[in-house]
């Protein structure tokens, strides 16, 4: 399956697409991944980038995974307006998936409006939801693992692994079971990336992108 990921740091931190690829390999499936991301930017920003148009119209992808701003979530209207605009660029043979993110650690009540917004957009553009945010809070209630990065917004390595497990299962049309998703995430949490890659850390109270070899 050839997959295009469009989003921001909640897609690239700890390399969610790479963990999706790893899940495919664990299940004897193949995934070719491309990632178009930029920190803090939503689908509205991607609509202004030439690479978005080139990849969507001419990339011949089987699937595109869309992720909008999350912290703060800009609201239903923003998601729907920009999600519809991007969907109009997607060829018929490319299936649209919506990467539903999670609300902030100190804002659990924010998940409801985020989830409802993604659900409404999915009906409008006939897309399938990867319900990461909904699963996120169920895992948080039932398991002790830390899902959040130090800032209470981004994902920990385990959180990114959970996101990847939910997205991969959705792409492969597998049934959801919370305990199985947890176990899948624990396996993906152990994934090693090329040490030449960079990833997010907190350094002196500030965000920093450092080579993985320096992080570990």
What topology does CATH give the domain 2-215?
Rossmann fold (3.40.50)
DSSP 8-state class, residue 176:
P
pTM passes above 0.85:
yes
The pLDDT, as a whole number, for residue 204 is 85
Decide the pairing of beta strands 198-203 and 206-211. antiparallel
The CA distance from 209 to 201, in Å, is 6
Structural domain boundaries in the chain: 2-215
Confidence of residue 205 (pLDDT cuts 50, 70, 90): confident
For the stretch 101-154, pLDDT in tens is 999 999 999 999 999 999 999 999 999 999 999 999 999 999 999 999 999 999
The CA distance from 118 to 120, in Å, is 5
The pLDDT, as a whole number, for residue 37 is 98
Q: Is the dihedral of CA 34, 134, 24, 147 positive or negative?
A: positive
**Bridge partner residues of 97 (DSSP):** 65, 128
């Amino acid at each position: 399956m050839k997959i295009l990921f469009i989003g921001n740091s909640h897609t690239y931190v700890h390399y969610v697409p790479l963990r999706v690829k790893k899940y495919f390999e664990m299940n004897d499936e193949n995934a070719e991944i491309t990632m178009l991301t930029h920190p803090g930017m939503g689908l509205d920003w991607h609509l202004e980038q030439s690479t978005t148009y080139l990849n969507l119209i001419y990339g011949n992808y089987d699937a595109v995974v869309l992720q909008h701003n999350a912290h703060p979530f800009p609201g239903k209207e923003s998601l729907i307006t920009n999600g519809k605009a991007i969907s109009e660029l997607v060829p018929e043979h490319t299936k649209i998936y919506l990467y539903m993110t999670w609300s902030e650690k100190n804002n659990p009540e924010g998940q409801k409006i985020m989830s409802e917004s993604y659900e409404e957009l999915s009906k409008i553009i006939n897309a399938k939801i990867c319900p990461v945010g909904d699963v996120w809070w169920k895992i948080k209630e039932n398991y002790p693992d830390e899902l959040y990065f130090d800032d209470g917004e981004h994902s920990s390595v385990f959180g990114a692994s959970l996101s990847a497990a939910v997205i991969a299962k959705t792409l492969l049309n597998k049934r959801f079971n919370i305990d199985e998703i947890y176990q899948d995430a624990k396996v993906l949490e152990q994934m090693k990336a090329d040490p030449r890659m960079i990833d997010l850390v907190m350094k002196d109270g500030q965000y920093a992108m450092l080579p993985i070899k320096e992080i570990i």
